[in-house]
A and B are shown apart, each in its own frame.
Chain A
């Protein structure tokens, strides 16, 4: 999500420059027809009931590198500081998604008055595991894949400067990946024990689907900006964001995700 980057680029909490975020993402493809741009290892997959790659209860995002413009000179804040009208930033965020996906995403954000536009390209390396038909993980089937995903979006925020609260909306389009390392209905080597019901929709075959989806979300923001750093004994201004996002595929297939993100800005 671009919300914390946008908040950093706005410099509404002057002096803040780093962000840490924890995201929970729920979603996937519910018996949808995998008919997009797929890359397959064997026969054409027909129906998939799978998770989007990178969707998990736990995703950690850290932004250690940044270049922001214009330079914020008064990091103590000001009484009527409302952030940079044309603030922007270039960030490199790294992420880890449970259980094993690592990624890096160069991200650019530019504010244009009350709205911002943003774009990122996320490289992710994942070790993906196969499944049994009952959705159990099959650690014997693995697949390593490097994926790339564009994400373009924008949003707007309203700030209550007296209180240090903000509210925002955002939306955009992003690429997603469905990565399957294979699904099997047989668990035992001797094929005597069949696991799972119903049968695997795409038996034994690995596949990788990439397509676009829309997303939109709302943001709740808290920040400090008042010039009371010294009096309050505080070192830096900071902030936090809570965002809820939902994504849906552009056609009528049942592919969607819900994500909630907590982030802190320091």
Chain B
């Protein structure tokens, strides 16, 4: 359920359109985000009482206004925390909102705003002022822990709330249906809540009083709030952790070691090696190796055909005792072993800078600028700049594409052939392990 919440939020946010009316969101879940590494997902329901502007109608010669203040709200929110500050997106009935502020174990400051007001009025309501459709506010929260699970909270808020009215234009004979309109008012007030913190989920009961200072009315809100923790939908560091976990999981089935980043000259074998424990990883020119099973390698796997797997490395050694070939992972310091009958050596690697792609991308930008302006200079400069930009991007990311990849590893070697070739790169010196 909690995992579906972000999706539900996104769908509801789309459905919510341009609703801009809001009342203060619940406080307890926001406070519970303090130093949470996971996402806090909150669902709440509020019921309102007091002097609600409900079922009241006003009629003029040209319009009818029907006041229909909602007496119930549903709240959904998704919070991310960064220590002492929290940011969240949410939905209050049909209004999407942003919420953020300071959190700590005992004190919090929350501010919220409808999304509509932040992005739409600059375009839509230019003549009526920037803040015409603004609904939002700020709340101070004090939280007192009673024991491990229970806490009490006090809140004080100042906000610009909105309520619903329906407007019928009598002069508009074509479509004189009830058009929803927001009606805003200033509110100040306070409240309290009791919070229970469980292992998997937490909940709170909250009571809030608000004084409508524009129309001198009193309102009360009763809220039940429940929340739980989930993994963030996506986060850059989370993505990196996932990749690392996958890699770790894969490594469990592979024999892995590490090699030194720097090379030394081995006088015994008269070649250059990366020292790896007692193992000598012989430095070679980048060479392709064909592997039977891509799950047995930790290097980047290239597939010249759907059934081939190739990797390349610049260091290799052969362990005659265990019949294993050790390869170095791309340009990294990890090394891994593959049984000799599951790997074959191939041609040396030929790489090329992807000039064709760079020129094509440049041409694309040049053509776009040229077509948009019908101008030769724009085409030429767009072409030059696009090519230079992509050249820099590819250089910065060190992009090299393998050349003739579909022609490598066409000659299979028998095990004796492989052993003969690999024997020039022994993992251990024949005389002594030290050099």
Q: Give A136-180 interface residues, CB cut-off 8 Å to B.
A: 137, 139, 158-165, 167
B38 to A, closest residue via Cβ: A162
A232 and B238 contacting across the interface, CB-CB below 8 Å: no
Q: Check B372 for interface membership: any CB of A closer than 8 A.
A: yes
Chain A residues with a Cβ closer than 8 Å to the other chain, count: 37
A99 and B372 contacting across the interface, CB-CB below 8 Å: yes
Tell me what chain A mostly uses at the interface: helix, strand, loop, or mixed.
mixed
Q: Give Cα A99 to B371, complex, Å.
A: 10
Tell me what chain B mostly uses at the interface: helix, strand, loop, or mixed.
helix
* A139, A159, A230, A235: the one within 8 Å of B375 (CB): A139
A162 and B237 contacting across the interface, CB-CB below 8 Å: yes
Stretch with Cβ within 8 A of A (4 or more), from B77-85, B188-196, B268-276: B77-85
A233 and B243 contacting across the interface, CB-CB below 8 Å: yes
* B81, B239, B332: the one within 8 Å of A230 (CB): B332
* A96, A158, A223: the one within 8 Å of B236 (CB): A223
Q: Check B57 for interface membership: any CB of A closer than 8 A.
A: no
Q: Check B304 for interface membership: any CB of A closer than 8 A.
A: no
* B236, B240, B377: the one within 8 Å of A165 (CB): B236
- Nearest Cβ in chain B — how far from A260, in angstroms? 12
Q: Check A243 for interface membership: any CB of B closer than 8 A.
A: no
B333 and A230 contacting across the interface, CB-CB below 8 Å: yes
Q: Give Cα A225 to B240, complex, Å.
A: 9
B385 and A165 contacting across the interface, CB-CB below 8 Å: no
A161 and B82 contacting across the interface, CB-CB below 8 Å: yes
Among A18, A60, A127, A233, the most chain B Cβ lie within 10 Å of the Cβ of A233
Stretch with Cβ within 8 A of A (4 or more), from B18-26, B58-66, B391-399: B391-399
A228 and B240 contacting across the interface, CB-CB below 8 Å: yes
Q: A100-B381, A102-B381 are in contact. Are A164 and B369 (CB under 8 A)?
A: no
B237 and A225 contacting across the interface, CB-CB below 8 Å: yes
Among B82, B331, B388, the most chain A Cβ lie within 10 Å of the Cβ of B82
Q: Give Cα A137 to B235, complex, Å.
A: 45
* B247, B248, B377: the one within 8 Å of A127 (CB): B377
B247 and A233 contacting across the interface, CB-CB below 8 Å: yes
Q: Scan B9-23; emit 1 where CB is below 8 A from any A CB, else 0.
A: 000000000000000
Q: Scan A57-89; emit 1 where CB is below 8 A from any B CB, else 0.
A: 010101010000000000000000000000000
- Nearest Cβ in chain B — how far from A5, in angstroms? 15
Q: Check B382 for interface membership: any CB of A closer than 8 A.
A: yes
Query: What are 26 A-B interface contacts by the 8 Å CB criterion?
Result: A20-B396, A62-B389, A96-B385, A96-B389, A98-B372, A99-B375, A99-B377, A102-B385, A139-B374, A158-B85, A160-B81, A162-B82, A162-B237, A163-B80, A163-B232, A163-B236, A163-B238, A164-B238, A222-B236, A223-B237, A224-B237, A225-B237, A226-B241, A230-B332, A230-B333, A235-B331
Which residues of A are in contact with B by a Cβ distance under 8 Å? 18, 20, 58, 60, 62, 64, 96, 98-100, 102, 127, 137, 139, 158-165, 167, 222-226, 228, 230-235, 239, 266
